[in-house]
A and B are shown apart, each in its own frame.
Chain A
Amino acid sequence: AIRIVQSPSSLSTSPGDRVTITCRASQDVSSYLAWYQQRPGKAPNLLIYAASSLQSGVPSRFSGSGSGTEFTLTINFLQSEDFATYYCQQYHTFPLSFGGGTILQIK
């Protein structure tokens, strides 16, 4: 099974800041990686697919990059509604797998 290591596990930051979250896969997943946002008590929401493609309706301050085994999610100019938990997920190989999550907290 492909293991995904996501870092950092939590991040204290301020509105207006820029943040970067990283995921490293234990095997090459090409560009079959997605990023999700989950607010407390809510279902996850797809942000990025194909490593760098923005899902329809997602603000352009979100961006993704990478391929192979290393990927990043960048959020520019953090807004209050961005303080949530973020997960990456590989869908290259079954079983599918998620990273452990990154909690964005207000400093």
Chain B
Amino acid sequence: EVQLVESGGGLVHPGGSLRLSCAASGFNFRTFGMSWVRQAPGKGLEWVSVISGSGENRYYSESVKGRLTISRDNAKNTVHLEMSNVRAEDTAVYYCAKTGGYCIGTTCYNPLDVWGKGTTVTVSS
């Protein structure tokens, strides 16, 4: 069974740091990109970051660029999100999601096909 389990959430003071982790199982981890998506209380989904299967390519939303860093350890089937200089607006449930690879003819599509249950980050003094 394909499974993603996030951990590391909690209460952090503004300006502080936190490291989120996502443990993956049930698929060939190193061949798939992994994303983080967050959801502030009562709000919609916001994509945060993605890292390619090899770890060579990383992209971020403008709202987190320079403060949040995505990384992965393919030996441990784990993806991380390092959060630094956090702000109140970073308060959210953080979901880890696997990028799928669905090819129709010669075109491949990469939606977020498996999601973890999320871990909650609260930024407050």
User: Is there contact, CB below 8 Å, between B47 and A95?
Assistant: yes
- CB-CB under 8 A from B109, the residues of chain A are 31-32, 49-50, 53, 91
How many residues on A have C-beta within 8 angstroms of the other chain's C-beta atoms? Answer: 26
- CB-CB under 8 A from B27, the residues of chain A are none
In whole angstroms, what is the CA distance A86 to B60 when docked?
23
Give the A-B pair count, Cβ closer than 8 A.
Answer: 69
- CB-CB under 8 A from B37, the residues of chain A are 44
* A interface SS class: loop
User: Is there contact, CB below 8 Å, between B111 and A97?
Assistant: no
User: Is there contact, CB below 8 Å, between B112 and A89?
Assistant: yes
How many residues on B have C-beta within 8 angstroms of the other chain's C-beta atoms? Answer: 26
Q: Which A63-107 residues have C-beta < 8 A from chain B?
A: 87, 89, 91, 94-101
Q: Which B13-70 residues have C-beta < 8 A from chain A?
A: 35, 37, 44-47, 50, 59-62
In whole angstroms, what is the CA distance A31 to B111 when docked?
11
Q: Is B9 positioned at the interface, with any CB of A under 8 Å from its CB?
A: no
User: Is there contact, CB below 8 Å, between A49 and B111?
Assistant: yes
* B interface SS class: strand
Contacts A1-B62, A49-B100 given; does A34 touch B44 at CB 8 Å: no
23 pairs of residues in contact across A and B, judged by CB atoms under 8 Å: A1-B62, A31-B107, A31-B109, A34-B111, A34-B112, A38-B45, A43-B115, A45-B115, A49-B102, A49-B109, A49-B111, A53-B102, A53-B104, A53-B109, A89-B111, A89-B112, A94-B59, A95-B47, A96-B50, A98-B44, A98-B45, A99-B44, A100-B44
The 7 closest A-B pairs by CB, nearest first: A34-B111, A49-B111, A43-B115, A94-B59, A96-B47, A101-B44, A50-B109
Chain B residues in the interface with A (C-beta under 8 A): 35, 37, 44-47, 50, 59-62, 95, 100, 102, 104, 107, 109-118
6 additional A-B pairs beyond A45-B115, A50-B107, beta carbons within 8 Å, are: A34-B111, A44-B112, A49-B102, A49-B109, A89-B45, A91-B112
